[in-house]
Amino acid sequence: MKKLKLLIFALFTVLFLSFSQTTADAHSPDLHEGVSGQDVVELQSTLKKLGYFHTTATGYYGFITKNAVIQFQRDFNVPATGFTGPLTRAKLTELDIMARVVNGEARGESYTGQVAVAAVILNRMDSSAFPNSTYNVVFQRNAFTAINDGQYGFKPNASAYQAVKAAVKGSDPSLGATYYYNPSGVTDTWIFSRTTITKIGKHVFAK
């Protein structure tokens, strides 16, 4: 009964967080030079974790923030406008979703191990055996433990964001894996039928 209550709580937490995030993204205002507020603080904080914003988050969208946004947009193939319109917000949301998974699944692993976990998400998106969007891959039923146990709700650290950034830019220490697992925590032995590609830290990466 205790496990069932924990599972139900985790499920509702994930549904609430994903709904809140999607809703907030849909209604977030375009941010541009001259505006200020909490939305700008959050933007600056995320850009800092990604390595584009190199000072304290002030909540004011000035020249430094504009340049950071432009660098981000160029790296992630978004029109380099210098303001955060729908395309930039959508990309930031995708990266946040991935960073939450990396943080929840590989927080205790090496940076290389974290990049590998991020790469698995991208490899699944590229595979016809899985959904083709970040959201649908991550929230596919029982795809990631962090979704089921509530760790997806933890705020990602800079390492998780940097790992996602590296994976999106082409780094794949998993060598093309679409699965990974910790042998000591396996509850469904089906995963052992997958072909092992490599091992990084506690995770085995497979196809």
CATH code for the domain of 24: 1.10.10.2520
Q: Is residue 64 part of a domain?
A: no
Q: Is residue 124 part of a domain?
A: yes
Alpha-carbon dihedral sign for residues 122, 97, 110, 42: positive
Q: Is residue 110 part of a domain?
A: yes
Q: Is residue 59 part of a domain?
A: no
Q: Is residue 73 part of a domain?
A: no
Question: For the residues 59-82, what does the mean pLDDT come to?
Answer: 97
Contact residues for 101 (Cβ-Cβ < 8 A; gap 6+):
117, 118, 121, 138, 144, 146, 147, 152
Give the pLDDT score at 14.
Answer: 47
Enumerate long-range contacts of 203-206, CB under 8 Å, 24 or more apart.
203/106, 203/109, 203/113, 203/116, 203/117, 204/180, 205/116, 205/120, 205/174, 205/175, 205/177, 205/179, 205/180, 206/177, 206/178, 206/179, 206/180, 206/181
pLDDT per position as a tens digit, 107-156: 999 999 999 999 999 999 999 999 999 999 999 999 999 999 999 999 99
Alpha-carbon dihedral sign for residues 31, 34, 38, 44: positive
Q: Is residue 79 part of a domain?
A: no
pTM equals 0.85
Residue 12 has pLDDT above 60, yes or no: no
Domain housing 99: 2-30+85-206
Q: Is residue 166 part of a domain?
A: yes
Question: For the residues 145-172, what does the mean pLDDT come to?
Answer: 96
Residue 6 has pLDDT above 50, yes or no: no
Residue pair 205/180 in contact by the 8 Å Cβ criterion: yes
Among 22-26, 53-57, 131-135, 159-163, whose mean pLDDT is lowest?
A: 22-26
Reported as a pLDDT band with limits 50, 70 and 90, residue 186 is confident
Q: What is the count of structural domains for the chain?
A: 1
Q: How far is the C-alpha of 88 from the C-alpha of 78, rounded, in Å?
A: 6
Q: Is residue 133 part of a domain?
A: yes
